[in-house]
Structure 1
């Protein structure tokens, strides 16, 4: 083994290289050199591997030989150097390194590991490229997708907030669901945990609560307590049915008072969840403590009293009286003295001044001439015919006697006196055209329904003059019709400017003839 290794000392190795170089011919082409070099490198590599095996064997089995002294050789400077073992790696490097070619020749050295290194680079680059592509795809996917939460049982507000934050559109459908509250999600098209692409649409279904059109017949609440009524409302989700309590002086606490359905056409049997209704139960009689002190309202304004009443829930009655000392609107007196303790809803009264006033007299004690002279009052006097009440007596007055009215704001008062029975006057010599006005002023304006009819007769009087009446200058009934004869002027001369004859007189009236009766 030592002889074998001695062949690989530095001097022998250089000698061997020199011999190999000498065998090369000048005509060897570059291609042949390359082939020979490859062959030599292959052999050297093989030898190196064998040497490594030999060295390993020597190191393991012959450690004593490894400690032998190395032979001494002469150095270039005349000194002596130790001849050491050449490492296999050094041997390989020296073998691979070709001697330099002459300066006039170009030598090509090929690295046998180049192809493998290139392949390794390609593999590494490809692997890195795939990893980079996968990373980019993962980043893109992570940025363009979002994990779908489980919205079932959550509110639409939460779903919309999530959609807004993650750039997802919500397509919301609503349906009635008895078991779910309003705006609670009941279904979703994308499963929880699934990756959903941003800018995509997610379909959700939310609850509208119980169907308002569903008929839920009302029970007999009169047989229930408030607690059982509340339980029924909650069980049937009748949100438009209110169960209230109120104080009641007659019905004991906890008992049913009444049932009110807003739509009067809806009956208890046809009641729907959307119909509004109120069930009342009694809280019993309300008892208040007498802890409200009555203030002194004397001369205070009515508005102050109203404020106190509203604050303390007092039942107040207001009476108006005149006062010569208290201004209008001030309190004259109060039914409960100041300082007295009262309870809420207790009753009391106050008198409010209307200022100075005048008392309306009993106009039956006056006559038509003096009735209009009462101080502080505006009185209108009228006289009308009346078959029952004698002339001059009072028939009516618009305001009751004893009533007090403000002097500042006097009310107009109408007083009606009797003119007695109607008396039919004589209208001889009057023109037919004046009869309507005369009958209205004399009778109809005073309540008597007296009218007339006319007919024409031959007469020496001017045409259109009254020449006869069926009745005149006498009392007649409240409803009466009189016939009046009118001259047709057939025997009269030309009209003159002589004054009209006065009505009345003792002229004999001819009997009425039905001919030429024109009526009114």
Structure 2
């Protein structure tokens, strides 16, 4: 049988169409046999931030799909889950955004009424501050012939109501015991804050605590001490101990980014933002000019200052208005770095 060129072309097209149909059928079969991975959202009740982050990593989810938010809570420990926007057992769809709200611990700025510490012992005072979750209380020990050993002498606070984060210095009597006795400084590396405070109390040494973020040292552990271990200190003296607050957040430069970018980063990393609006002839409205700090580790809950542009100053028409009102207006613009100079021609 003779097949001309046109018939050969027709057969070729039919074969190509058959292959295409076969490929399409194969793809459809694969789609139904091997559907896209379904991600089931667990119930994160009583879970920790670390467990949430592990789940995010294992399921290869982005921070655009899972947002971590923080709220102060008086009963739930820091970094423990409070709520989730999608209940456990549901499937995370492609366009879903899951928000996990974590506890940020007790509110450091909650205002608390102080009791009268007169006639209270060191243990009673320390127990009260612990129960009321104060974060910066230092005790110093002073010889006093009139006040019994271990009893309250004075405080640096004159108000009756203060914030929990307020630095408090409590002076405790050591009676008529002498000071100036030389003692060895221990290595506080494996001490807890309570252990260090107990050592200070026993040896009549005032302890001042500082806090810093650390990539390598766990939260609550000692980063450094001054004087160092192995040296000596005299009773009645003072030492400084720096404690870790954990990994914290690594500050980055936001130059050229938007307020939305800053807010998203701050929410994820539990950092407070203080915005300073300023006029700028080169940087567009709503764009970041600079931020401080812009590198290094930041303690969780600390504040970053961000200078953000509000564009070029737009001077309003003050025709037929007073000179004083115009000067006040210009002064207001210059407070936001408009840097406008006024030349007055009186006619």
> Same fold per TM (> 0.5)?
no
Question: Which structure has the highest helix share of the two?
Answer: 1
TM-score category of the 2 structures, normalised to the smaller one: 0.3 to 0.5
